[in-house]
Amino acid sequence: MLKDHILVWKNCLNIIRKSIDSQPYKTWFEPIRPIKLSGEILTIQVPNKFFYEWLEEHYVDVLRKAIKGELGTNGNLEYQIMVEDHRDIQARAKTSSTPKGAQEDNLVINPFVIPGIKKVRIDNQLNPAYTFDNFVNGECNRFPGSAGMAIAKRPAGTAFNPLVIYGDVGLGKTHLSQAIGNEIMTNFADKQVLYITTEKFTNQVIQAIKNSSVNDFMHFYQMIDVLIVDDIQFLSGRSKTQEIFFNIFNQLHQSGKQIILTSDRSPKDLTDVDERLISRFKWGLVADLKAPDFDTRLKILDKKLEKDNMTLPDEIKEYICAHIKNNIRELEGVVISIVAQATLNKRLIDLKLVKEVVKQFVSQVDKEISVENIKTLVANYFDVPVEKLHSKTRLRDVVIARQLSMYLAKKYTTSSLKKIGDSFGGRDHSTVIHSLKTIEDMIDTDKVFKDKVNVLLKKVKTSFALD
């Protein structure tokens, strides 16, 4: 029995519907019309070049599975693309071989407005795993995190427009920016949100210029309610991309749309970027993400372990967080490597295994303990700022933390009494001697305090890999 094009496409849609969510299905597949079936080649009609490009870029695997499931291994798909002057353009997608198999001369890698549809529901490109629920707050990110939540409640309704989030690699810029987008989608289902990297945006610009479609390209972006652009430092040196982005930025901002940008450096430190753009980046809020402190790293690690249904002893978690200091991705990578090593080599997850794994992630695990290391560890334990240990305050908790830091510094470092005193705000060696004596007396007479000291001794040994 010969199949007709309508039945073949209907069967393909049944396969596709099982593979993607209902909203993308309605947006990208319901408008398609089957045109003809010639042997093992199905021709479908899409509204315009943007539709064609989006299908090829985001749903080629789904289409390939459907076509081959219905027409066999030699099945192919052809698009009939309706452009605005109603000419048809034929482009064959070689779904039997390459995922981007359309003829390069006809391929337009940029968005266009779909004729006849007043408001297109676009694929927002957000990762649903990036949410505020699993974004760990700490001193390092509380300010940009709070600003992001405010924007999620009132996009373009705060003074934070644009919001520029900057910081080193692996500190959570992408997570936070997409968490804002996902929260907005939850709070305002009708908002058009789009996340895109600067590299991808640049490639779209290049294709739009190549195909003389810049106006359509800009028209599409002006429909966005919340535009999230990742890694804007890659605008550097790309004058044409900057010019087009400048115009899109202006139009969105003037129309009361929200703009969120991320960068690995502050706007003032961007090089080879038009001063007009840098000036606009400063219109709203520029917020930096700092490296997480020890406590925040512990929280992040706990969240990762909870997600993976894992538990680790406190001493192992503390060791990991003491050595993986600057990069959240490395923190997650350590957990993955520990599990892999334990599983593949049938080993228990103990401190020895963890030390072996951590060494692969850091160039040098600290062997020699410094006075600064000791101060940070004790300050974290007593929940007092490190700088308080240098001050003249006589608050009991601060005094005990200071004296105990001196005690541990004498016990575990090679620093002289004078050097130890100097590092605590210029105190003399007699003050250090008094502190040592005070701590020793308290250990002998106060069991509760002795227990605290033992906990800290354990933390020192764990953190600095002492036997």
pLDDT per residue as tens digits for the range 31-43: 888 888 888 888 8
| Closest by Cα among 66, 82, 74, 161 to 114 | 82
Cβ neighbours, 10 Å, residue 376: 18
Tokens at 335, concatenated: 């957990």
Residue 407 resides in a domain:
yes
Residue 408 resides in a domain:
yes
- Whether the per-residue pLDDT at 51 is higher than 60: the answer is yes
Instruction: Give yes or no for a contact between 412 and 460, defined as CB atoms under 8 angstroms apart.
Output: yes
Residue 24 sits in the same domain as residue 43: yes
Residue 324 sits in the same domain as residue 388: no
Residue 150 sits in the same domain as residue 272: yes
Residue 256 sits in the same domain as residue 305: no
The upper half-sphere exposure of residue 456, i.e. CA atoms within 13 Å in the direction of its Cβ, equals: 27
Helix or strand run (H / E) with residue 69: helix 60-71
Please tell me the least confidently modeled range out of 116-125, 222-231, 295-304, 364-373. Answer: 116-125
Q: What's the sign of the alpha-carbon dihedral 353, 354, 358, 359?
A: negative
| Closest by Cα among 45, 67, 193, 190 to 126 | 193
When pLDDT is averaged across residues 259-276 and rounded to a whole number, the result is 90
Tokens at 52, concatenated: 């064609």
Q: What is the pLDDT of residues 137-156, one digit of tens each?
A: 777 778 888 899 999 999 99
Residue 154 sits in the same domain as residue 284: yes
pLDDT of residue 88: 40
Are β-strands 33-38 and 41-46 bridged in parallel, bridged antiparallel, or unpaired? antiparallel
- Whether the per-residue pLDDT at 202 is higher than 80: the answer is yes
- Whether the per-residue pLDDT at 363 is higher than 60: the answer is no
- 246 or 339: whose pLDDT is higher? 246
- Whether the per-residue pLDDT at 2 is higher than 80: the answer is no
Q: Of 30, 62, 93, which residue sits at a domain end?
A: 93
> Distance of CA 50 to CAs 61, 62, 90, 112, Å?
18, 18, 14, 5
Residue 168 sits in the same domain as residue 55: no
- Whether the per-residue pLDDT at 308 is higher than 90: the answer is no
Which residues have C-beta within 8 Å of that of residue 21, sequence separation ≥ 6?
none
Instruction: Give yes or no for a contact between 44 and 80, defined as CB atoms under 8 angstroms apart.
Output: yes
In which domain, by residue range, is 174 found?
142-288
Distance CA 292, CA 295 (A): 8
Residue 261 sits in the same domain as residue 377: no
Q: What is the CATH number of the domain that holds 352?
A: 1.10.8.60
Distance CA 375, CA 425 (A): 12
pLDDT category at 465 given cuts 50, 70, 90 is low
- Whether the per-residue pLDDT at 291 is higher than 70: the answer is yes
The domain total for the chain is 4
Tokens 């901002």 sit on residue: 253
Distance CA 162, CA 177 (A): 12
Q: What is the CATH number of the domain that holds 202?
A: 3.40.50.300
Q: In 68-167, at which residue ranges do the beta strands (DSSP E only) sit?
A: 76-82, 88-93, 163-166
Tokens at 18, concatenated: 């099982």
pLDDT of residue 162: 92
Residue 349 sits in the same domain as residue 378: no
pLDDT of residue 49: 67
Residue 381 sits in the same domain as residue 349: no
Residue 281 resides in a domain:
yes
> Distance of CA 282 to CAs 261, 287, 434, Å?
11, 10, 52
Residue 131 resides in a domain:
no
Distance CA 268, CA 262 (A): 13
| Closest by Cα among 96, 62, 102, 54 to 78 | 102
| Closest by Cα among 345, 354, 343, 341 to 315 | 354
Q: Of 229, 255, 288, which residue sits at a domain end?
A: 288
- Whether the per-residue pLDDT at 278 is higher than 70: the answer is yes
> Distance of CA 328 to CAs 228, 229, 233, 244, Å?
21, 21, 21, 34
Tokens 């924007």 sit on residue: 151
pLDDT category at 393 given cuts 50, 70, 90 is confident
pLDDT category at 121 given cuts 50, 70, 90 is low
- Letter string b/e over residues 337-367, b meaning 16 or more CB atoms within 10 A of that residue's CB: bbeebbeeeeeebeeebbeebbeebeeeeee
pLDDT of residue 98: 33
- The conformational region for residue 161 under phi > 0 = left, psi -120 to 50 = alpha, else beta, is beta
Q: What is the CATH number of the domain that holds 84?
A: 3.30.300.180
pLDDT category at 181 given cuts 50, 70, 90 is very high
Q: What is the CATH number of the domain that holds 422?
A: 1.10.1750.10
- Whether the per-residue pLDDT at 99 is higher than 70: the answer is no
Q: What is the pLDDT of residues 400-431, one digit of tens each?
A: 999 999 999 888 887 888 889 888 988 988 89
Residue 247 sits in the same domain as residue 160: yes
CA dihedral 293, 298, 302, 305 (to 10 degrees): 100
Give, as one character, the DSSP assignment of residue 30: T
pLDDT category at 82 given cuts 50, 70, 90 is low
Residue 399 resides in a domain:
yes
Q: What is the pLDDT of residues 104-113, one digit of tens each?
A: 333 333 343 3
Instruction: Give yes or no for a contact between 231 and 199, defined as CB atoms under 8 angstroms apart.
Output: yes
pLDDT of residue 289: 83
Residue 346 resides in a domain:
yes
Residue 172 sits in the same domain as residue 310: no
Residue 217 sits in the same domain as residue 332: no
Q: Of 246, 271, 288, which residue sits at a domain end?
A: 288
Residue 137 resides in a domain:
no
